[in-house]
Amino acid sequence: MGDGASTGSANSLAEPVEATATLASTGSANVAAQNFFVLTIHFVRVGGEATNTHKKNCSTLTGIRYILTRHSSLITDMMLHNLTISVIGPGAMGEAIVGGLLRQALVGADQLLVSHPREERRRELAARYGVQTSHDNVAAAHWGRVVIFAVKPQQLGRVLDPLRGTLRDDDLAISVIAGAKIYDFAHALEHPAVVRSMPNTPATIGEGMTVWTAAAEVSEQQRGWARTILGSLGHELYVDSENYLDMATAINGTGPAYVFLMMEAMIDAGVHLGLSRRISEELVLQTMLGSVRYAQQSSAHPAQLRNGVTSPGGTTSAALSELERGGMRTVLADAIWAAYRRSVELGKAR
Ligand SMILES: NC(=O)c1ccc[n+]([C@@H]2O[C@H](COP(=O)([O-])OP(=O)(O)OC[C@H]3O[C@@H](n4cnc5c(N)ncnc54)[C@H](OP(=O)(O)O)[C@@H]3O)[C@@H](O)[C@H]2O)c1
């Protein structure tokens, strides 16, 4: 553990932390606060002019609408002002969270600490993001008011045991770990405020889909933190029952793998037909992307969209007939059930 030189004002309870890269903090929260006051002054000034003319009234209303819209996002920014966040197990998903929070300037790098056993990984993350690092999960859990757990399910038992009783009453634990139940987390940590979430790999580029739920003991403010933190990964969806988390694991958590497999199979088939790999890849990726965007913008059911491109006796009809003969729907449904059962099993294994 080193001198923790740039813990800054983010955390008055700052524990010593290791190597800290020099960084130009985004200072987003300060910027948000400044904007808030500038806009408030503007609001008062514009409001004062409102009685003069109808024209001015209209522009005032537009101004007020603008200000209110701006304020709602500023309030979100300010929710994370000075909030310290530790990430235990910053691998692919933990890094996606760090990257998302910084990319959207929701926190400054001095508000983040990552805890990893390997020095090489700690150095890599400090150099890439300017965040603080530690090899000590207990120190990391003390440091953050929000502690995010992003280790593999198999590593979780070893990680949780030494952390029993380390979180303060108003701290929040967020798990992104497949299968790990809120009850087990709360029990192992002796801390009831736990959020369980299931993100997915596109979170790495801010295009993730994260489903989450919270223990009854998680306060409204903490729910706001969780929503903002998980929202930095892309889309987030709160559900009111933990049962949905195992289902979400099988759909959005595991889903990218189904899509990548289909992508790979289509690209290979294109190459088999005689297309170059580059051309085949471009055709497949843009076809998938375009189809998803089209489905998102259309109010039609996917079956209607499919029927729309299936002419009687045509090429699509010939292809679909093969997919049905191969049992594509059944295999996909079986795969999703297998992922669901595995998620439930992982939860029971602890
Ligand atoms: N990746 C996804 O698409 C995805 C999607 C949804 C949910 N998740 C969930 O996210 C979690 C992490 O997945 P991932 O893909 O990010 O895995 P990962 O890349 O392996 O990240 C886990 C990290 O934790 C580190 N670690 C191991 N022991 C540790 C310890 N005692 N203290 C602190 N860190 C430790 C690992 O180090 P080493 O590399 O040295 O082992 C690794 O860097 C999993 O539980 C998974 O269920 C992942």
| Same-domain status, 233 and 279 | no
How far is the C-alpha of 81 from the C-alpha of 25, rounded, in Å? Answer: 13
User: Residue 188: how many CB atoms within 10 A of its CB?
Assistant: 19
Ligand 1: residue whose CA is nearest its atom 48: 93
Residue 247 lies in a domain: no
Asked whether residue 8 is assigned to any structural domain, the reply reads no
Q: Is residue 217 part of a domain?
A: yes
Atom 24 of ligand 1, residue of closest alpha carbon: 89
Ranges of residues in the chain whose predicted pLDDT is under 50: 1-59, 61-62, 64-70
Three-state DSSP at 74 gives helix
Per-residue model confidence (pLDDT) at position 347: 82
In a domain, residue 312? The reply is yes
CA 310 – CA 312 distance, rounded (Å): 7
Decide: 230 in ligand 1 pocket, CB within 6 A.
no
How many domains is the chain partitioned into structurally?
3
Domain identity same for 136 and 181: yes
Does some domain include residue 175? yes
The response to whether residue 155 sits with its C-beta less than 6 Å from ligand 1 reads yes
Q: Are residues 91 and 74 in the same domain?
A: no
Cα–Cα distance for residue pair 115/138, rounded to 1 Å: 9
Domain around 45: 28-78
Residues 160, 201, single domain; the answer is yes
133 and 281 assigned to the same domain: no
**Last residue within a domain, chosen from 53, 78, 103:** 78
Distance (Å, rounded) from C-alpha 166 to C-alpha 189? 7
Asked if residue 179 and residue 114 are part of one domain, the reply reads: yes
Domain-terminating residue out of 61, 78, 95: 78
Say yes or no: 105 and 145 in one domain.
yes
Stated pTM of the model? 0.80
What CATH number corresponds to the domain at position 218? 3.40.50.720
Atom 21, ligand 1: residue with shortest CA distance: 91
The reply to whether ligand 1 has any atom less than 6 angstroms from the CB of 102 is no
One domain, residues 87 and 46? no
Q: Choose which residue among 97, 113, 116 to substitute to test ligand 1 binding: the one with the highest number of ligand atoms within 8 A of its C-beta.
A: 116
Give the residue from 242, 276, 296 where a domain finishes: 242
Residues whose CB falls within 8 Å of the CB of residue 294, separated by 6 or more in sequence, listed in order: 305
257 in contact with ligand 1, CB cutoff 6 A = no
Query: Which tens digit of pLDDT belongs to each residue from 72-83?
Result: 555 555 678 899
Does one domain contain both 274 and 187?
Answer: no
Q: Is 200 in the pocket of ligand 1 (CB under 6 A)?
A: yes
Is there a contact between 18 and 1 (Cβ–Cβ < 8 Å)? Answer: yes
Asked if residue 177 has its Cβ within 6 Å of ligand 1, the reply is: yes
Residue from 86, 87, 93, 158 to probe ligand 1 pocket by mutation (most atoms less than 8 Å from CB): 93
CATH of the domain at 290: 1.10.3730.10
Task: Assess if residue 50 is contained within a domain.
Answer: yes
What pLDDT is recorded for position 54? 42
Q: Is residue 1 part of a domain?
A: no
Query: Domain check: are 38 and 109 in the same one?
Result: no
For residue 230, tell me if it sits in a domain. Answer: yes
Q: Residue 116: CB within 6 Å of ligand 1?
A: yes
Answer yes or no: is the C-beta of 88 below 6 A from any ligand 1 atom: yes
User: Do 107 and 211 belong together in one domain?
Assistant: yes
Q: What per-residue confidence (pLDDT) applies to 43?
A: 37
Our answer on whether the CB atom of 91 is closer than 6 Å to any ligand 1 atom is yes
Q: Is residue 252 within 6 Å of ligand 1 at its C-beta? A: no
Q: Looking at the structure, do residues 288 and 228 belong to the same domain, yes or no?
A: no
Q: Which residue's CA lies nearest to atom 34 of ligand 1?
A: 89
Q: How far apart are CA 93 and CA 48, in angstroms?
A: 49
